[in-house]
Structure 1
């Protein structure tokens, strides 16, 4: 097998988006309820099951189970589902939000953190808020300019803007109430993509950016004023300064040297959170190290707390209570930021309050959520980096291939993970957890000499790799990346059923009391399965790849199912050559279904596939080779490794003669307002020329490949 596999996750480059504007529709049913809009408090969130028709927070309930008690849509009538309405989002990029529906209004976000308030019966827009994130800010983030949703509390809607601001909006008008900057150092590449949570009047939000060199933390802000109430750092800071608290004193003992501080350390809290009101504990999941390679960031070894960990905190103060580290000394980008959910399970005849997670590393964990004690850890996906988890120590037993500090290793899972951010769900009726599972490889090549090179630059301690440029080899690599929906029994500790998908990067899941599991797919379908056996009962085209998790609600006695559909994220941006089997384009919409729905989606506009005549290749072989390495190190995270884009951002092989003539100016920042950041000061003129020659070379390669395919097709005709 060729060793041209992924070595990095994705960084976005933005398209121009419509400016946000406040709109109103005085005659809408939702507007008539404006006086009570989003009047959510602790009592309502804690008792969310008493309002099954609402979906008041990201995971519906504080336990984040993503299970709905609604059952008017069931296995008996799901075939009657039809589209009720659709709503076009502004930016056709990564669409990852779960809408919130409460008090007759839907609140949903799209790329660049744009918030829309909609009538959930008709889909009519009530208002829209665009935080005006600079479009070239996307260079500072990993994995596209996504936003996963909002939180609501006492008449306010809270959104984390991509550039690090936390913003409170009036739920009735969309007007800004307050705004606070959550970023501690603007010389570092901090971003926010996760959905906030509100606990006891405190808005909780973390951040992303570990690959680009930041220090992770989570903060709590007063819901009324936006004032910072507490901040919990996940990795130690400057070793020449005192530790912030006892948790950081403990963590510092597990790191060595001071290189980690120069790289930021990582450990970002960019997604998963859950809250137990009875125990009064907030649970967070932390991310990978900066750099990935532990030998670079912490050359003396160590567990490097609290990387890739589940941490329990007191929500009033942010005080540390306990932690469990899923991947000690993580060197593989095995984040524990994946979905955390809480449940009460009978294990060994004893009722246990548990926490469950299926992080990137391929093991499904069940913990006692009061103490953090490990109850079980079992492989739910192929994982060659460890043989098992030692139940006596709670630590994974690493295999020989896990160590890539001295030579390249092909490891599973790769950086895409066995399960990424796409939420799983738990059905208490079946007892199963429904996981968007992935089979994905990674080739890790040590780069021990890497140093911190500033904002907007990836730091992994691994050399950037190329996908094969030969179409046949590329197809072979793509075939090794597989996606599945699996039902996992956390008590029996085994897979119960699975559905296979076309490729990885499929949507999150929703389970319901109607005996159903809903999931969108990378190849543009929205599907319902039976929760007990996994039988496919219904599907409909979504006209784009679906990554977000669906949700459901009920209004005036009628149940609706909604999913935010739109292609993007790490897989299609970075690994366009591997995402090709999905054969979808980006088209961001909110899709809402009901029994008897008769609406239809607008036809997709065809993507122009004509290849312009590429310029003459004038670069030498060595210049093109230099350009390939520079392209994969600086451009591939947006426009696709090996210059093969994934239908989200422009494929540079298709540049027009005009764009080729402007190439140097575009790289210097001429299109910054459109989302193409300036590389002035990062790349020299000679390096830009080398990249351009590589792009031209790849255009000529594509021209030859298309001609070869056309000839083969003609010869195949009878």
Structure 2
């Protein structure tokens, strides 16, 4: 089921045992744990994991999960992912041993009206959310349910959850939109706030703000603990849907979905800092310090995060599809042809590539017929969802 497309305007120029959520202008520190889409609460695709050796890497295992596979979360010696259930209805949660890829516990039916679900991790718990707004906390070691809550007031849930500071943040839509903050230990509701639409935008979280972005650049910042509004960036157009923002180098990088030039907003006040080139449907950029990595038109380009000057371009096979991630200074991207590359982040030189064995899908943020796809890493592994396969690489 495809979500609706919307109009746009052109503007001018996580906290866990192993994740530190730092102020908006500082760089994140993450060691060996991925907590959500694009690795961390900022969604900036950046990770330091000394257990992941320099490429070339070797395939450690491959699993066919029988349906389209989500972005993986890697923590506690496990790899977690959801996949479209083999019978074609709802999704299934898998917890796999990171060393072998074997099931660590029996797969769990997450239910849901559509074939969408998403994961987050933090505070020693795994969190899964389905399309119907059922948010469930699991023990990652055993798969046992700890609590679940049905998020109130909405009926369409397509925003992957984010864990930070003992709170799970997510959004819902259907009747307007709502941003939710849920106590990660108990499942109790801490606060809610109305937003323009509530679709598709996984909250990006720092110590200073919870950021969500919807069509026509409707972007909000809220105080993480209280939910009090901090700022609201809006334009003169309106529409539904959203896309996951990225917080990096003091900016909130937003992407509208109608082919217009996306903006970079100041994280502190929401004012437009500039714009950057990205075609409609381009995946989220990744950042490593001042180095930004952008996939646009099937190629990867490195740009300075302040000047946006391009410094190198990698074309690959011209069909690069994934949102990039950066692990220990190496940039990983995948292609619709099933090719995975590791590049030197400073020079753009390809240092390794491999055939994963199936097409690596783009992160379609407007499609509820499958879970959101994306690369993952942690615990010494780089993990790739490739259509129905989940493939792990390491030393």
Instruction: Please give the alpha-carbon distance, in whole angstroms, between the structure 1 residues aligned to 2:245 and 2:29.
Output: 24
User: Corresponding residue for 2:351?
Assistant: 537
Match status 1:180 vs 2:156: no
SS in 2 for 1:270: coil
SS in 2 for 1:53: coil
User: Corresponding residue for 1:101?
Assistant: 74
Please list the CA deviations of residues 87-137 of structure 1 after superposition, one character each: whole Å capped at 9, or x if unmatched. 2224x23x331x222232222222344221111111121114433425xx3
User: Corresponding residue for 1:328?
Assistant: 236
User: What TM-score do you get using the length of structure 2 for normalisation?
Assistant: 0.81
Q: Note the C-alpha offset of 1:62.
A: 3.3
Q: Note the C-alpha offset of 1:206.
A: 1.1
* 1:36-75 equivalences in 2 (<5 Å): 44-46=18-20, 52-70=31-49
Q: Note the C-alpha offset of 1:183.
A: 4.6
Structure ranking higher on relative contact order (CA contacts 8 Å, 6+ apart): 2
Whether the 8 Å CA contact 1:502–1:522 is kept in 2: the answer is no
User: Corresponding residue for 1:251?
Assistant: none
User: Corresponding residue for 1:590?
Assistant: 390
Whether the 8 Å CA contact 2:41–2:163 is kept in 1: the answer is no
* 1:284-303 equivalences in 2 (<5 Å): 284-286=212-214, 288=215
User: Corresponding residue for 2:266?
Assistant: 368
Instruction: Please give the alpha-carbon distance, in whole angstroms, between the structure 1 residues aligned to 2:242 and 2:311.
Output: 24
User: Corresponding residue for 2:83?
Assistant: 110
Greater per-residue strand proportion: 2
Gaps of 5+ in 2: 5-13, 23-27, 85-89, 362-372
User: Corresponding residue for 1:487?
Assistant: 302
Structure 2 CA distance for partners of 1:132 and 1:9, relative to 1, 3 Å: closer
Whether the 8 Å CA contact 2:18–2:31 is kept in 1: the answer is no
SS in 2 for 1:173: coil
Greater per-residue helix proportion: 1
* 1:341-360 equivalences in 2 (<5 Å): 341-343=247-249, 353-360=250-257
Match of 1:314 among 223, 241, 246: 223
Instruction: Please give the alpha-carbon distance, in whole angstroms, between the structure 1 residues aligned to 2:149 and 2:244.
Output: 26
Match status 1:283 vs 2:211: yes
Whether the 8 Å CA contact 1:427–1:512 is kept in 2: the answer is no
SS in 1 for 2:42: coil
SS in 2 for 1:519: strand
Match status 1:506 vs 2:294: no
Whether the 8 Å CA contact 2:127–2:138 is kept in 1: the answer is yes
Structure 2 CA distance for partners of 1:42 and 1:105, relative to 1, 3 Å: closer
Match of 1:551 among 356, 376, 383: 376
Larger Rg: 1
* RMSD between superposed Cα atoms in Å: 3.0
Whether the 8 Å CA contact 1:114–1:128 is kept in 2: the answer is no
Structure 2 CA distance for partners of 1:154 and 1:432, relative to 1, 3 Å: closer
Match of 1:434 among 284, 293, 313: 293
Match status 1:339 vs 2:245: yes
Gaps of 5+ in 1: 1-7, 12-39, 139-144, 236-266, 289-306, 344-352, 382-412, 439-482, 567-587, 596-718
Please list the CA deviations of residues 605-636 of structure 1 after superposition, one character each: whole Å capped at 9, or x if unmatched. xxxxxxxxxxxxxxxxxxxxxxxxxxxxxxxx
Please list the CA deviations of residues 434-479 of structure 1 after superposition, one character each: whole Å capped at 9, or x if unmatched. 12224xxxxxxxxxxxxxxxxxxxxxxxxxxxxxxxxxxxxxxxxx
Q: Note the C-alpha offset of 1:215.
A: 1.9
Match of 1:268 among 172, 192, 198: 198
Structure 2 CA distance for partners of 1:418 and 1:56, relative to 1, 3 Å: closer
